[in-house]
Amino acid sequence: MAVTKTEAARGRYSRVRLPDFLVIGALKAGTTYLDGLLRDHPELCLPDTVKEVQFFTRHYDRGPTWYARRFAGSGSRLAGEVSPQYLSDPRCPARIHELLPEVRLLVSLRDPVQRAYSQYKHWVQVSNYGGDFEKFLADYPGAIEEGRYFVLLSRYLDVFPAQQLHVVIFEDLVRNPGDAMPGIFNFLGVDAGHTPSELPPANVSTRPRFHRAYAGAKRVSSWLNDRGGGRIVASAKRRGVVRLFGENTADGFGSLTPRAAAALGDAYRDDVAMLSMLLERDLLTTWHSVAEGWAVSKETKLSSARRRSRLDSARQLRVRV
């Protein structure tokens, strides 16, 4: 009987410590905040020098032994990492399943209109992009695809059973983490009674006053993280080095206009309808940016046959939330 690639990978790396769980996304959906809440639990261990390992995207060629070194200090704790790039990268579901077929997958999902706008603000921060939000969407259409959650989750459900996937809604998490985290802890199999410490909002985008210096520091930070210098980067952040670049307030961005919000809401509505059925929760009542205009836009862009097919798929795949 032939040995599958998954069985070979499992046997070859059975003696090294690989992660028990992954937070795979979504980008700009509270994963930095979730990272802090997970690190606060005494039974969980995440890499202490970097949040986003990005093994299955940027560093896959370095191999599982390199990846395992990120979790060498986990001991008896459950090991995991947070790389929100994994959700949208089409290579990741198969890569993750081949190496970690029993891994538990956490996903944080946010109103996709607000998520796209947050990605725009982040891009302005890191690149000094000068266009408004609508121009950003035209220049970077991939930002829209990052919010088609039903499509992205379906790729994972093609290779992982639904029991290994847990979805948290960003708006629930930031409104009351004390209510959202016990479900996550239960899913991971650790003490659900742990009360997370109070954490400040994470990753609020601002516009640096001295952008060239800021961009240079980001490049150095990335270079150090890639070469094992994460502790240097973490120490610099703790010491407030970012403040040296004179960050402006968080309002130095082009606005989310009603026209752009309505167009995006229309683009996402079918996907959110399918996602609502998958999660057995009406997200149109939670994600108001998508729901706006629903009464005047009931006609879907999907053919009836294609829509029935997606509905049938959603009914069959129930995901924990």
| Beta bridge pairs of residue 186 | none
CA dihedral 109, 113, 116, 117 (to 10 degrees): -120
Of the candidates 28, 87, 92, the residue with the CA atom closest to the CA atom of residue 57? 92
Q: How far apart (Å, rounded) are the C-alpha atoms in residues 60 and 63?
A: 6
254-302 confidence digits (pLDDT tens) = 889 999 999 999 999 999 999 999 999 999 999 999 987 444 344 444 4
Between residues 311 and 27, the one the model is more confident about = 27
Of the candidates 239, 281, 13, the residue with the CA atom closest to the CA atom of residue 149? 281
Q: Does the pLDDT value for residue 223 go beyond 80? A: no
Superfamily of domain 5-204: P-loop containing nucleotide triphosphate hydrolases (3.40.50.300)
Relative to beta strand 104-109, strand 21-23 is parallel
**Helix (H, G, I), strand (E, B), or coil: what is residue 320?**
strand
Band the pLDDT of 205: cuts 50, 70, 90: low
User: Domain extents for the chain?
Assistant: 5-204, 208-247
Between residues 9 and 122, the one the model is more confident about = 122
Beta carbons within 8 Å of 309's beta carbon, 6+ residues apart: none
Residue 204 in contact with residue 250, Cβ under 8 Å? yes
138-181 confidence digits (pLDDT tens) = 999 999 999 999 999 999 999 999 999 999 999 999 999 999 99
Residue 77 in contact with residue 128, Cβ under 8 Å? no
Q: Does the pLDDT value for residue 239 go beyond 80? A: no
End-to-end CA gap in the chain: 38
Tell me what pLDDT residue 304 has.
46
